[in-house]
Amino acid sequence: MPTPERKFRLYDTMTREVKEIVPTEPGHLRFYSCGPTVYSYAHIGNFRTFLTGDLVVRTAQALGWRVSYVSNITDVGHLTSEDQDGGEDRMEKGLKSKEGEKFLNVWDLADYYADCFKADWHRLNLRTPLVWPRATQHMREQILAVEKLIESGNAYETPTGVYFDVDSFKDYGKLSGNRDRDNLYQGVRDVVQDDNKRHPSDFALWKKDDKHLMQWFSPWGWGFPGWHIECSVMAMQYLGETIDLHAGGEDLVFPHHECEIAQSECLTHHTFANHWMHTRFLQVDGEKMSKSLGNFYTVRDLVEGKGADPLALRYALISVPYGKPLNFTMQTLRDATKNVERYRECERLAREALGHAEDEDRIGDELDALYHQALDAMCEDLNTSVALAKALEGTGAIFREGASMSASSARSALGYLGKIGELLGIVRLTEDGEAPEAARSDEPPAMLVEKVAQRQAAKAAKEFALADALRVEVEAAGWEIRDTPTGPQLRRKVEVVG
């Protein structure tokens, strides 16, 4: 079947319109997405943003593009409040926290949380980037970039560090719309002034600090880099001077991405990124997620603490398009769990039918059409709501064929589930010869298997009261029995505790 010509359109923060992504090199997307600072466990809001990047990668790959995907890990704490000693470094704060007591130093802490981050990343079935560059491993490049900015007259040294001279870049503010710099300081927040800076908007490229927990030697003495320079340097190192797409959370529009543009474009005199996308913040129970409100969730809180299915969590986090606020609730997660289970049930059904007679394939065309509709929706600014709806319609077609479907239909069904899994990541097909996924992670205890056997015997003897009692016992242990034409199945109950 010929793949129809498709355009991949995304909202561009710079131009404020949905526009087509046109890779500089046809069929090869160069994509940089801002990752987390690893001073603690990443939370589900972080992952909403990373999932947006993941869906971009998957959609581009579904179009047959090659994707060079780079997502950084920030492992330097930054004092972005431009004062001498008033701000608190996030890595240092992490080390001082209760969780941080177990680490010898900030380096260990960064490694630990970076590993956890990658583990959560895989649990939620995100595509592995080409590189996960870390700020501390690109110190030389950052220092060279700062030197170059001083040479070009875009930066200046003060007793406290090196600052970017915002007035030297006339386009400063083009991304965020914050062009009126004086106006920025009429906000409600306290703004710390630093008399060493020429303009309050000037931002640090290098901070001098020989007492900082993480410090490097530079032409300006001991210190550490400013927050923004790492992304400019790492994006250019791995993807070139102009990248096709740059993504992050909505909070990064200003100042982070604005500053990245200023630095990068002063370094190269080229457009830094041709397309900018930003993911709206997640809310929980209608409010901003925060520790003080008690609605703060990490991936492990939900998966290990509440028994959430990781794929269901993924489903929930992508159920609303990235450009709109997503109000996450336990109900959202429960709804998603139902749908993810439906896909698993479909796979089970189709696998059992593989041994049937060939006969005609009665669902292949319909499933193919639905897949393409889902892909169309993704190409239109990642409309995940529509894509998930179209994808789910396919399960209806498969179930309607039912247990008696032909082997041909079953192969179409599995092909479809595989493609939906590639595109949306909400299905993970079992490898050949592998136990079905539900059973893979946890085998039922032998004691329960025995009870199921006893129940079968009771049923055969028509002792239904005993059979029911046995099922109640099994359920009390957190498992459920499903009678099928091929015998009873024992499955862990899927329940999300609210």
Q: Does 80 bind RNA (CB under 7 A)?
A: yes
What is the smallest separation between the CB atom of 274 and RNA, expressed in angstroms? 20
C-alpha to C-alpha distance for 26 and 68, rounded to whole angstroms: 13
- For the chain, what's the residue count? 498
Q: In b/e form, how buried is each residue of 81-90, taking b as 16+ CB within 10 angstroms?
A: ebeeeeeebb
Q: Does 481 bind RNA (CB under 7 A)?
A: yes
Q: Does 444 bind RNA (CB under 7 A)?
A: no
Q: Does 84 bind RNA (CB under 7 A)?
A: no
Quick one: 55 or 65, whose CB is closer to RNA? 55
C-alpha to C-alpha distance for 25 and 246, rounded to whole angstroms: 16
Q: Does 225 bind RNA (CB under 7 A)?
A: no
Neighbours of 152 (CB within 10 A): 12
Q: Does 289 bind RNA (CB under 7 A)?
A: yes
Among 154, 201, 218, 298, binds RNA (CB under 7 A): 201
Consecutive H or E run containing 479: strand 479-484
Q: In b/e form, how buried is each residue of 310-327, taking b as 16+ CB within 10 angstroms?
A: bbbbbbbbbbbbbbeebe
Q: Does 248 bind RNA (CB under 7 A)?
A: yes
* CB-based contact 232:268 (threshold 8 Å): no
Quick one: 65 or 388, whose CB is closer to RNA? 388
State the residue for tokens 């990235």.
Answer: 322
Contacts (CB under 7 A) with RNA, residues 355-394: 383, 385-386, 388-389, 392-393
Among 1, 104, 188, 497, binds RNA (CB under 7 A): 188
What is the smallest separation between the CB atom of 107 and RNA, expressed in angstroms? 19
Among 118, 123, 148, 342, binds RNA (CB under 7 A): 342
Contacts (CB under 7 A) with RNA, residues 303-332: 319-321, 324-327, 329, 331-332
Quick one: 271 or 331, whose CB is closer to RNA? 331
Q: Does 13 bind RNA (CB under 7 A)?
A: no
Q: Does 154 bind RNA (CB under 7 A)?
A: no
Contacts (CB under 7 A) with RNA, residues 98-137: none
Give the residue from 67, 87, 117 showing the smallest Cα distance to 298.
Answer: 117
Q: Does 480 bind RNA (CB under 7 A)?
A: yes
Among 20, 108, 285, 287, binds RNA (CB under 7 A): 287
Among 115, 338, 359, 445, binds RNA (CB under 7 A): 338
Q: Which amino acid is at 75?
A: D
Stretch that binds RNA, among 65-73, 134-142, 283-291, 411-419 (CB under 7 A): 283-291
C-alpha to C-alpha distance for 318 and 365, rounded to whole angstroms: 27
What is the smallest separation between the CB atom of 255 and RNA, expressed in angstroms? 5
Quick one: 65 or 381, whose CB is closer to RNA? 381
Consecutive H or E run containing 279: strand 276-279
* CB-based contact 77:90 (threshold 8 Å): yes
Give the residue from 390, 393, 409 showing the smallest Cα distance to 401.
Answer: 409
What is the smallest separation between the CB atom of 110 and RNA, expressed in angstroms? 13
Q: What is the DSSP letter of 308?
A: -
What is the smallest separation between the CB atom of 211 and RNA, expressed in angstroms? 19
Please provide the DSSP assignment of 385-448 as one string. HHHHHHHHHHHHHHHHHGGG--HHHHHHHHHHHHHHHHHHS---PPPTTSPPHHHHH-PPPHHH
Cα angle for residues 366, 367, 373 (degrees, 5° grid): 95
Q: Does 459 bind RNA (CB under 7 A)?
A: yes
What is the smallest separation between the CB atom of 25 and RNA, expressed in angstroms? 27
Stretch that binds RNA, among 81-89, 139-147, 351-359, 405-413 (CB under 7 A): 81-89
Cα angle for residues 450, 453, 459 (degrees, 5° grid): 145
Q: Does 155 bind RNA (CB under 7 A)?
A: no
What is the smallest separation between the CB atom of 494 and RNA, expressed in angstroms? 10
Q: Does 78 bind RNA (CB under 7 A)?
A: yes
What is the smallest separation between the CB atom of 354 and RNA, expressed in angstroms? 18
Q: Does 478 bind RNA (CB under 7 A)?
A: no
Quick one: 65 or 490, whose CB is closer to RNA? 490
Q: What is the DSSP letter of 152?
A: T
Count of residues binding RNA (CB under 7 A)? 91
Quick one: 65 or 321, whose CB is closer to RNA? 321
Among 187, 355, 433, 487, binds RNA (CB under 7 A): 187
C-alpha to C-alpha distance for 429 and 419, rounded to whole angstroms: 10
What is the smallest separation between the CB atom of 416 and RNA, expressed in angstroms? 14
Stretch that binds RNA, among 18-26, 233-241, 445-453, 480-488 (CB under 7 A): 480-488
Among 263, 395, 409, 412, binds RNA (CB under 7 A): 395
C-alpha to C-alpha distance for 283 and 107, rounded to whole angstroms: 31
Q: In b/e form, how buried is each residue of 328-354, taking b as 16+ CB within 10 angstroms?
A: bebebbbbbbebbbbbbebbbbbbebe
What is the smallest separation between the CB atom of 2 and RNA, expressed in angstroms? 25
Cα separations in angstroms, 319 against 48, 50, 76, 333, 341: 10, 14, 33, 10, 16
What is the smallest separation between the CB atom of 484 and RNA, expressed in angstroms? 6
Q: What is the DSSP letter of 340?
A: H
Among 283, 295, 430, 454, binds RNA (CB under 7 A): 283
